[in-house]
Structure 1
Amino acid sequence: MLVLRRAPGMGWMLPLAPGELRAVFAAMQEATGLAGCTVELDLVGDEEIARLNAAHLGCTGPTNILSFPAHDGGPHDGAHASSPDRSHGGPHDGPDEDAPCHLGWLVLSLDTWRRECQLYGQEPVEHALRLLAHGLGHLAGYDHGPEMDEFTDAALEAALETALAVLTAQA
């Protein structure tokens, strides 16, 4: 299950509607054996992701996606993750208290995602889904390397198939 939140003032910039994104993410989880697990996803701008990057990883500046696995403790307290300060509020839904597992928290910078699409000629849907698949791999315990690449590719393939089906059904 994907729990979505977006920072105040951040319009919906992704090329998939929230329901479509949840369906695509569910396909990723099914393809990688993580079906039924809760993942929280915050959609933020560069300022917020740069703050988190500095506070939790000691890195300067924005990045495209950050992953905070629940088992690492990350920036969260308690069984269900929440951002270090939820004062930013914003449209969201809460974690599923009945979910069999909670994998953790992803933070995606919509500013960086959009900039990377333009700078590197990335197709927007595919690039967003690749970032989410990569982040999911970190939540599942993978570090960079061949196993992470295989995981990301499997999740991305399932996501793209589902996205194509969803978008084709709307046409």
Structure 2
Amino acid sequence: MQEIGFENPIFVTYAVASALMVLKVMGQGWMTVYRMLRSNSGLASPEDLRAGPINKKPDPSQLEANDYVDRSRRMHRNDLENIPAFWIAGLLFVLTNPPLILAQFLMYGFVTARAAHFVAYATRQTHEVRATCYTIGSLIVIYMALHALIALLT
């Protein structure tokens, strides 16, 4: 079993990629909040219509769908459906002690695929473009999980 620590360059690769993905997930949440505040719309729950320091004059129309806000919300949901699997598969992959170049290729490849997915979604590219970015990231995670499973079973 490979040691987990910052003296292990494979783990450092994982840590950098994972930290970038933490920032992506959290940043997308904040982007959704920013868009709700900027547009004064796209609120998600009826209780959001209670008056408060930020929403001083709530209006039921604030609960109506707003693509500007919902697009960010969909990107966030997509991140939450994909990035946690990377965190788990990536850590298991590190434990197999793969070649460093392979770990860097896969982990930074996943980060790049997620960044490309974000750009494709934010710029309203076709589903095929987004699906291509998703597929690349998904195949990377699947490979890492299978790699770890095979290493465990052999």
Q: TM-score, normalised by structure 1?
A: 0.29
Q: TM-score, normalised by structure 2?
A: 0.31
Q: Which has the larger radius of gyration?
A: 2
Structure with greater helix percent: 2
